[in-house]
Amino acid sequence: MKGLLTKLKIHVKNYNFLFVLLFFISACTGPKLVLDTNKVSFNEVLDQVQRQNNKIETFTGQCRISVDSEEFSGHFFADIYYVKNDSLLLSVTGPFGIKAGTLFLGKERFIFYNQMTNKFYNGTIQDFEDKNFFQFPLQLRDLVNIFLGRDDLPSMKIKNYTIDDGTFYIQAQNGNDGYQIWVDNNTGHIQKITGTTGDRVSFTREYGFFIKSNGLYFPKQIQMIKPEEKQGVSIFYENLSINDEIDRGKFIIQISDRAEQINYFRE
């Protein structure tokens, strides 16, 4: 190809969009948890959070993004398409409708087309898991979770479990990492989570303006702050849809015939 791609279209194939529509059963939210720590254990609360996350089979959304860091501050717009355990595509537009780029994550494969520099990166997810994209202060493992409004919680030792401001409050520890978690009993979702390392706050994430889509609650507003790095990201979904069929054409990336291709594959 001599470093150039000629009107390349990348078709993301073999992704199972014809999943059985079990979400009519499984996507229905579980019973509202009684806001009483004597009747509901912290394990039940955390299980409810995990169940809500697991019920998202597909996701489509259009959102506004605000980024604030010492290196960059600005606003973006993004379209996101997600199929559980399969693929995620994030297409980002900057101010004045300028195309910033497209990011695709498959089960193993990674594709990033930077339209600002006209470079096309191709490799495995492991090659890119510690990199940042689109001027976002988010590494790959954070990026997926924040756009899907979820948190991957480790095994934790519970230190405190109570009611705080009308929500379940859990304080927990995993080694040197501490967590404070506020869970809304109505939606079964985390409203706020703060992570600490030692005596330092490493991050705070907040979720708000929950709406229902196909029986599942999802936050329209998501915010993450990393105080030590002086970094922040805010996401506001203008439109979103959960567990509706996604046109596989949405996962086609069109690359300029003048784009420079850069391959990253580990031996």
Domain assignment of residue 26, yes or no: no
Domain assignment of residue 203, yes or no: yes
When pLDDT is averaged across residues 18-24 and rounded to a whole number, the result is 39
Tokens describing residue 230: 């002086």
Residues 159-177: pLDDT tens digits? 999 999 999 999 999 999 9
pLDDT: is 11 or 136 the higher one?
A: 136
Residues 236-254: pLDDT tens digits? 999 999 999 999 889 888 8
Nearest to 163 by CA among 35, 42, 34: 35
* Residue 129: predicted pLDDT: 67
Q: How many CA atoms lie within 13 A of 200 on its CB side?
A: 7
Domain assignment of residue 4, yes or no: no
* Residue 160: predicted pLDDT: 97
* Residue 159: predicted pLDDT: 96
Q: What is the mean pLDDT of the chain?
A: 83
Is the pLDDT at 28 greater than 70? The verdict is no
Nearest to 182 by CA among 154, 221, 208: 208
Domain assignment of residue 32, yes or no: no
Q: What CATH number does the domain containing 130 carry?
A: 2.50.20.10
- pLDDT tier at 42, thresholds 50, 70, 90: very high
* Residue 27: predicted pLDDT: 41
Read off the pTM.
0.82
When pLDDT is averaged across residues 211-215 and rounded to a whole number, the result is 94
* Residue 157: predicted pLDDT: 94
Domain assignment of residue 204, yes or no: yes
Amino acid at 161: Y
Domain assignment of residue 192, yes or no: yes
pLDDT: is 147 or 1 the higher one?
A: 147
* Residue 19: predicted pLDDT: 40
- pLDDT tier at 100, thresholds 50, 70, 90: confident
Domain assignment of residue 27, yes or no: no
Total domains, the chain: 1
Residues 115-147: pLDDT tens digits? 888 988 888 877 766 666 665 667 777 788 899
Q: For residue 148, what is the DSSP state?
A: T
Greatest CA separation for the chain: 68
> Domain range for residue 194?
9-21+40-264
Domain assignment of residue 1, yes or no: no
